[in-house]
Structure 1
Amino acid sequence: MRRQILALGLMFVAAFLGAQQPGKMLLLGSTIGPIDSGVVGALEDAYEKETGVRVRHVGAGTGAALEIAKQGSVDLVLAHARALEEAFVAEGYGVGRVPLMYNDFVIVGPAADPAGIRGMKGALDALRALAAKGAPFITRGDNSGTHVAERDLWIKAGLKPAAPWYRLFEKGALGNAATLAFTDAQNAYTLMDRASYLGARKNIRLEVLVEGDEVLLNHISLILVNPARCPQVDHAGAAAFLAWLTAADKGQRIIADFGKDRYGQALFIPESREWKAAAPK
């Protein structure tokens, strides 16, 4: 019920903002991790500076963001849960699924690492070790992209995690930073995208313990809301913004450089078709 109330509140905010300057503002429903990292704001600011078009975002887990989009309260969606995205498109609410960027998930936990998973090469083996030892593990449990990815990994590992060691963060809909803070306070483990971890690192003691496995890749996509289902959306404006985001010399270049000045590494890797086509052969 709490998540439903949150989603309804976000729908109201989106509808309110969209009504302020019709034709002059685009609304993006975005998963929270890229917002927390700062890359969404950087892209919005650069687009406004170049085109004069304002873009503002409504942040929610992927599941909630897609529900907001079904109401026509946003013009496009930034998401990272492929199964949910494909269902959204198949139901007629979205126009295609366009690759934008990716980073990776990591398993973080206490520096002492009582479960002994540090440095394990296989993320699934690490999850099995956590389950076998009953190590406290925090789940967002909110049908966000992070939660969906975590749930899929447990399935791939052949496990059904359960209490008492598998613990739901009841305020998981608040996002990754809040989840990391709660996990840190519980001296527990969790799955998190690297950008969110780096953004919160100075405020927590958790360390990256397992990384680099291919199953941990975190692909982030764009979806235009279908004007046939939601005629109030600014489809042309959203399509122009999408084209800018995926252009090799525009949004993709900003993504490729974002984070290097603060963290010494880019937080995301561009993945649009245009970026790949422009890459040296």
Structure 2
Amino acid sequence: MTGTAHENGGFAPPRVAVEGVSVALGGTPIVSEAALTVGAGEMVGIVGPNGSGKSTLLRVIYRALRPEAGLVRVDGSDVWELSARESAQRTAVVVQESGSDFVLKVADVVAMGRNPHKGPLDRDTEEDRRICAQALARTGVSALAGRDYDTLSGGEKQRVLLARALAQQPRLLVLDEPTNHLDIRFQLELLNLVRTLGVSTLTVMHDLTLAVGHCDRVYVLHRGRVVAEGPPAQVLTPELVAEVFGVRSHRWVDPDTGQVHLAFSRLTDTTTDNDAVATAAAGSGQGQG
């Protein structure tokens, strides 16, 4: 896939293009010749079992890890030819919530999103404050602006971090397992919110049912390689889930919403007990990527 289709039958250049990216750590291949695209306004998921290279690939895309081979382009520019500041003006990252990281007011956390657009000694301008207020409002946390960040719930923290990312005014929003420590209500709220933002989004997801319900397309990673790509309800077939995740999947369609749901059971004839537990965890939002 090289672009996003328009109604007139033409194609727009992808917002993000990953071309032949390979990464090895300690001599061990982690990602091999990965390629993917994210179109304007698309929400694209990366799924795969534990250790398949999902988070490693994501780190390459948001310029935290230089690949051994391949390119990552955001709006046509090689991210490694950009300065860190220029890259942060284009790409914002939200990682999974993992305890208290800031002894700051919520408003101050969100204001950090303006740093890529300012010099080190610049004060916040009226425009900066307007953008931050808008980000707080869009994520539904305006009422929390005066609260200490470390007193918030997990769901509230993720919304605040999303507001900080929006304050960067990015072209690409990168989410690394953003729902991993949230209960199901906050998982749905966060993903529904991201869908309404209209920002090109690339996210690592463990829960395959959430991927089916919220992603326009998914890329399936297995042993460091992209083995499938497309609309998740079409890509995540029982055959592929068995091959990649080592579990049997059952799907049904909600008659009220039309959404595809997945349930999983062990493939006792092809996996050991330990393998079955580990791979089932990958499809239910547990474990590491």
Q: Which TM-score tier does this pair reach, normalised by the shorter chain?
A: under 0.3
Under a length normalisation based on structure 2, what TM-score does the superposition of the two structures give?
A: 0.27
User: Relative contact order, CA 8 A, sep 6+: which one is greater?
Assistant: 1
Tell me which protein shows more strand as a share of its residues.
Answer: 2
